[in-house]
Amino acid sequence: MAIKKIAVLTTGGDAPGMNAAIRAVVRTAIDTKVEVMGVFRGWWGLINEELKPLSHRSVSGIINQGGTILKTQRCPEFRTKEGMDRAAATLKKYNIEGIIVIGGNGSFAGAHEFYKQYGVACVGIPASIDNDINGFDTTIGVDTAINTALTAIDNIRDTATSMERIFVVEVMGRESGYIALQVALAGGCEDVIIPEKKFDCQQMCHRIVEGSIRGKASWIIVVAEGAGRAEEVSRKITEITTLETRAVVLGHIQRGGRPTAFSRDMALRLGYEATNLLLEGQCGKAVGLNNGKIISIDLEEAIKKKIWEVDSIYNLIRKLT
C-alpha cells in the first residue's frame, strides 16, 4: 500500500544545511502526491503535537538559511516508554505513515529505537557539525562549520602575527576532534588538542619555547572543547613559558551562518534520496555519502561509534609547524 503522508523533523544540535534538506524532502514528497507534515522542535514536537502541513511554498527561500525552520531542542522524555508512546500516538492521530529524521548520532539512536520498538517507518539524514555518523564520509553542516571556524582563525592569525602572541582557539567537538584537526591543518596552526590524542602540556610548551628561541613570534593552538578549555590551556602556557597568551572561544558561531555550496548540495541530494527510500518502503535506514557516492545503511550500523583516521592529519600538523 502506497504511503500518503509523511513527517519531517530536525533534532539535536542545528547544522547549516538542515533547511536545504527539509526543502528537498518536502518538494520530493509533494511531487509524488504525498502530504508532508513538519514537526516542530524535534521529538518534543512529536510528543506534544506541534505539527503543521508543509507545502511547496512553505520551504521557499530557505535554502540559503542556516539553522532549521522547524526548530530543534533536546528531549529526554523521548527516551522513556511514555514519551515514545505519546509520539507514536501522535503519528496515528495524524495518519502519518513514515518520518524522516534529520540530525546526528543521538537523533539516529532515537529513530532506531522508535523503529525497533514501534515499527515506525523512518529514514535518517545525517546532519551534525561533529561528523559523528558511522558509515559515512561526512555529514550536513560539517563543511560550513569548518569554513566558519577557519575564517575566524585566519583573522586571529593577523593579530597573533602583529602582536607577536600565542593564541589558544577553542572550537566545537565534545567527543570528536574532527573540526579541530581540519581547521588546524587548513589554518596552518602550530598545534592541536583533541579528545582522541593524549595531551602533554609540558611538551607543547617546550616546543613553544624552542620556537621562540628560533625567532618564531606567534603561535596558534586549536583545542576541541571536549579535550580542554582555551582559558585553562592559555593560563598553563603562560605559567610555564612566561609568554603572553590569549584565549578565544568560537562557540556557537560555528553552528550558524549560510551553508556552503557543498553543505547545500549534499543536503538536497540526501533529502531527495531519503524521501524516495521511505516512499519505497525501505525503513530503518540512513542515507549518506561514502566515497563520494550516496548509499543507505541500517540505522543500527549508523549509530555505532565512528572510528576515523586521526594520526595522519595530527602528525602532518606537527611536521608542518
pLDDT value at residue 255: 87
Q: Are 300 and 283 spatial neighbours (Cβ–Cβ below 8 Å)? A: no
Q: Can you read off the three cell numbers belonging to residue 132?
A: 559523528
Q: Is residue 18 part of a domain?
A: yes
More confident residue, 100 or 173: 100
pLDDT value at residue 318: 85
Q: How many domains does the chain have?
A: 2
Domain boundaries, position 125:
5-141+259-302
- 195 in the same domain as 156: yes
The model carries a pTM of 0.93
pLDDT for 174 beyond 90: no
Taking alpha carbons only, the member of 218, 205, 208, 206 closest to residue 163 is 218
Q: Where in the sequence numbering do the catalytic residues fall?
A: 130
- 76 in the same domain as 65: yes
Q: How far apart are alpha carbons 252 and 73 in whole angstroms?
A: 15
- 122 in the same domain as 165: no
pLDDT value at residue 319: 85
pLDDT value at residue 28: 98
pLDDT digits (tens, 9 = 90+) for 81-113: 999 999 999 999 999 999 999 999 999 999 999
pLDDT digits (tens, 9 = 90+) for 9-31: 999 989 999 999 999 999 999 99
- 18 in the same domain as 131: yes
Q: How far apart are alpha carbons 271 and 1 in whole angstroms?
A: 22
Residue type, 94: Y
Percent of the chain with pLDDT over 70: 100
pLDDT value at residue 1: 61
- 282 in the same domain as 147: no
Q: Is residue 317 part of a domain?
A: no
pLDDT value at residue 161: 86
- Which helix H or strand E contains 18, and what residues bound it? helix 18-31
CATH number for 210? 3.40.50.460
Q: How far apart are alpha carbons 123 and 111 in whole angstroms?
A: 8
- 220 in the same domain as 182: yes
- 137 in the same domain as 19: yes
Q: Is residue 95 part of a domain?
A: yes
pLDDT for 243 beyond 70: yes
pLDDT value at residue 108: 96
